[in-house]
Amino acid sequence: MNSQPALQTTDANDEAAIVAGLIDRARAAMAEFENADQARVDEAVTALAWAIYEPARAKELAEIAVIDTGLGNVDSKIIKNQRKTFGCLRDLMRVKTVGIIEEDAAKGLVKYAKPVGVVAAIAPSTNPAATPVNKAMFAIKGRNAVIVAPSPAGSKTTSMTCDYMRAELEKIGLPADLVQVLPAPVNKQLTQQLMNQSDLVVCTGSQNNVRRAYSSGTPAIGVGAGNVPVIIDATADLADAANKIMLSKCFDNATSCSSENSITIVEDIYEDAIKALEAAGGYRCTPEDKQKVQDTLWDGGHLNRHVIAKDADVFAETCGLPEAAKSAKFFLVEDDNTVGKDSPFSDEKLSLALTVYKAKDFAAAKQHVQNILDFVGMGHSVGIHTKDQAHATELAEDLRVVRVLVNQAHTFGNGGSFDNGLNFTLTMGCGTWAGNSITENLNYKNFINITHLVRTIPEDKPSEEELFGAHWEKYGK
């Protein structure tokens, strides 16, 4: 394995000097890569994808991630390492990022793609392997270099992932330093210096990191917190909805920001929907069970790391739930419709606990999910299970949210899917509602600068009457 060389500095504690050394090597690697044509760039992107898609490595990195972070499960992480990477590679092989990427003869415009520079990629503990590869693929597609800042818990996994990417780059004759990683032990000061000295920061993880990225003085893309609410309306195929919710909620033990955190069911079909969810593997908590879950899931107002993202039997055992709960796949916690700090089940839970609400009708359900997002999860996404497409349209028209997923397993659809039109990513913008600079799934366009060649065209100047006529007629001059 091609490990990143040890850094030599005059002071081992000088974080600024350490990062400066990484930046220098990144720029040198970019200088070797700057004249690569599209075919060569695509070879590099494919090499990065293979670094984690190769079955033995996908499994190894999944296993180490679970051991080191204690979050999620191996089988799901293997799927994530491969499926997200494969989908991202599909998307990237279909687009151009070198030279002329668009021509509009009528407007006299020609657009050229250029690199943004050295990218600082902040990686979360929930995805210490898949996210670094995803961001590296986007960065290299734009002929940039990338330096990854791991989470402390996921540092070993992320460093090993970067070593695999470096080795694959060298295998095809490209400089390994197009991909680098902060050296251990990772700390806030090192990560902050990386944010300060890079050309672009792309931050996935804690909202504290996102705020620091935006205040670093470097152009930054951050994403908001997840807390996905999903509606089941009166027209839904309940068995299908329950199965999709189960698959999505249970995937990687609900570590994804796109995992359902609550479902709001209209009153008319409430009990039938609960039965369908139970048939899909849900355990319906009693009021006593609910109190045990609450007392265990939160410790001093913070999520308990001994419970979050754990297997269902571990969750049930740790919470002290009855024997019947230990064979469940996930846990239905019914709550009243209050939302806020005094209602912890309305917050993101990063666990197999799924809050269940009852709404009088669709209008009430729509208002309720907006209330949830206004508390936690602003702008992120909502889901709906329905046969009434007008309901889905109404959510998209009325809610302050970036994505509305219809009849889908949210975790598998929100970050791109082979059966919807969203591009594959592990970083999802939430718009200004969440203080984010993008309202899309992070993609290659976020990693290129564009030069516009502008030529003259026949004059396109309307008359005053064409522009002001309607105004003058209605309001006078």
Measured in residues, the chain has a length of: 477
Told to judge if 257 belongs to the known catalytic residues of this protein, a careful annotator would answer: yes
Query: Among all chains, which residue has been given the structure tokens 């998307």?
Result: 91
- The CA distance from 161 to 181, in Å, is 9
Q: Which residues contact 476 (CB under 8 A, 6 or more apart)?
A: none
- The CA distance from 339 to 347, in Å, is 8
- Active-site hit among 88, 162, 203, 257: 257
Query: Among all chains, which residue has been given the structure tokens 């355990």?
Result: 283
3-state helix/strand/coil string of the chain: CCCCCCCCCCCCCCHHHHHHHHHHHHHHHHHHHCCCCHHHHHHHHHHHHHHHHCHHHHHHHHHHHHHHHCCCCHHHHHHHHHHHHHHHHHHHHCCCCCEEEEEECCCCEEEEEEECCEEEEECCCCCCCHHHHHHHHHHHHCCCEEEEECCCCCHHHHHHHHHHHHHHHHHCCCCHHHEEECCCCCCHHHHHHHHHHCCEEEECCCHHHHHHHHCCCCCEEECCCCCEEEEECCCCCHHHHHHHHHHHHHHHHHCCCCCEEEEEEEHHHHHHHHHHHHHCCEEECCHHHHHHHHHHHEECCEECCCCCCCCHHHHHHHHCCCHHHHHCCEEEEECCCCCECCEHHHCCCCCCEEEEEEECCHHHHHHHHHHHHHHCCCEEEEEEECCCHHHHHHHHHHCCEEEEEECCCHHHHHCCCCCCCCCCCCCECCCHHHCCCCCCECCHHHHEEEEEEECCCCCCCCCHHHHHHHHHHHHCC
Query: Among all chains, which residue has been given the structure tokens 């990225």?
Result: 213
Furthest C-alpha separation in the chain: 79
Catalytic residues: 257
